[in-house]
Amino acid sequence: MRNWFPISRRDKARQIATGAIATMVGSIVLSRAVGDGKFSDRILDAGRKTAGGRIWKR
């Protein structure tokens, strides 16, 4: 993901990519832990929206 950013912003890009990946992994772990289909889907959706917002908000 960091290659989507200009070279001058690589450090910031790396930070954003790391945060997005951590958010996605956390969402997966939590969604599996709750075991409830609808709640699990809401957790995944929230993680997807949050990670996506971090990536495209430059």
Given a cut of 70, the residues of the chain with pLDDT beneath it are 1-8, 54-58
**Dist. CA 36–CA 31, nearest whole Å:** 8
The burial of 24, by beta-carbon neighbours within 10 Å (0-12 exposed, 13-18 middle, 19 or more buried), is given as middle
Q: Where are the alpha helices (DSSP H) in the chain?
A: 10-34, 37-56
Query: What pLDDT is attached to residue 54?
Result: 61
Domain spans, the chain: 7-56
Query: What pLDDT is attached to residue 40?
Result: 94
What is the overall mean pLDDT for the chain? Answer: 82
